[in-house]
């Protein structure tokens, strides 16, 4: 089982600032099969990034995924008010597992 | 547009079996894709439960495999989840979902139901 560790647990930032979220895997994620989701309170998760760096349909280009192997990053270039939410990573190269999440809150 | 809708009892007693159904509209299950169940305990993260193909081929999370059965009914365009011997730890919002592209059973989920809260309590 590949364990995904997300950090930080909470990120306190202001609108317009840059957010950098980390997802570290306990072993290499094959073919960079890593996805990122955004979840707002009371809603289902929304797929943002797949294949480590490909944006899903309709996702603004301020969301950027990067990384390979065991270290992956989701960067939100300039936070909009609607971006404050919880973000999860998922690896799907060896079965499917999710990270514990990072909450991006308004400072 | 693919739409998924979970349904089932919101309250289940400990040691009993949790049963949920996911009704799919806007797409025929028989046309392909693996269809999945994911759960989220209150205030916690996401956990993949398992996935099923229209042929009935299934993949389960090893930590739940002994208690989980996922089945499909193509005539009703729906798939179902059964989780046996439930405890309070199984209290969660249960989602059904589908990947945005085909190509295997383990893929990112692009279409999600709204989720349904199941509470395990006597």
- Per DSSP, the residues of B61-88 read -TTTTTTEEEEEETTTTEEEEEE-S--G
Could you tell me how far CA A8 lies from the centroid of its own chain?
11
Check residue B103 and give its pLDDT. Answer: 80
Locate the chain B residue with the closest alpha carbon to A47: B110
Question: Rounded to whole angstroms, how far apart are CA atoms B118 and B20?
Answer: 9
Structure tokens of B110?
């692009």
pLDDT, tens only, B51-69: 999 999 999 999 999 999 9
Q: How many CB atoms lie within 10 A of CB B104?
A: 12
Cβ neighbours of residue B76 under 8 Å, at least 6 residues apart? B23
Distance from CA of B112 to the nearest CA of A (A): 6
Predicted pLDDT at A93: 87
- Average pLDDT of the residues of chain B: 95
* Nearest beta carbon to residue A100 from set B45, B95, B109: B45
Which positions of chain A have pLDDT values less than 50? Answer: none
Tens digits of residue pLDDT in B95-111: 999 988 878 888 899 99
Segments in chain B below pLDDT 50: none
CA terminus-to-terminus distance, chain A: 35
Considering only CB atoms, B100 lies closest to which of A47, A94, A97, namely A47
B97 and B36 Cβ atoms separated by less than 8 Å: yes
pLDDT at res. B106: 82
CB-based contact, B59 to chain A, within 8 Å: yes
């Amino acid at each position: 089982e590949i364990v995904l560790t997300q950090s930080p647990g909470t990120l306190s930032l202001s609108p317009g600032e840059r957010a950098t979220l980390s997802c570290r895997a306990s072993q290499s994620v094959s073919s960079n099969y890593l996805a990122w989701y955004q979840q707002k309170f009371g809603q289902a998760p929304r797929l943002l990034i797949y294949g480590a760096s490909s944006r899903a349909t309709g996702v603004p280009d301020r969301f950027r995924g990067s990384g390979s192997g065991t270290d992956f990053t989701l960067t939100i270039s300039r936070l909009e008010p609607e971006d404050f939410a919880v973000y999860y990573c998922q690896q799907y190269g060896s079965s499917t597992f999710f990270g514990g999440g990072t909450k991006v809150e308004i400072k | 547009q693919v739409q998924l809708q979970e349904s089932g009892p919101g309250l289940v007693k400990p040691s009993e079996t949790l049963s949920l159904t996911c009704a799919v509209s806007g797409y025929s299950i028989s046309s392909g894709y693996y269809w999945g169940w994911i759960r989220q305990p209150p205030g916690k993260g996401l956990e993949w439960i398992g996935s099923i193909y229209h042929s009935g081929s299934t993949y389960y999370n090893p930590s739940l495999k002994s208690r989980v059965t996922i089945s499909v009914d193509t005539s009703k365009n729906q798939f179902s989840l059964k989780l046996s011997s439930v405890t309070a730890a199984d209290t969660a919002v249960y989602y059904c979902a589908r990947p945005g592209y085909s190509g295997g059973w383990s893929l990112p989920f692009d279409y999600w139901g709204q989720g349904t809260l199941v509470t395990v309590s006597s």
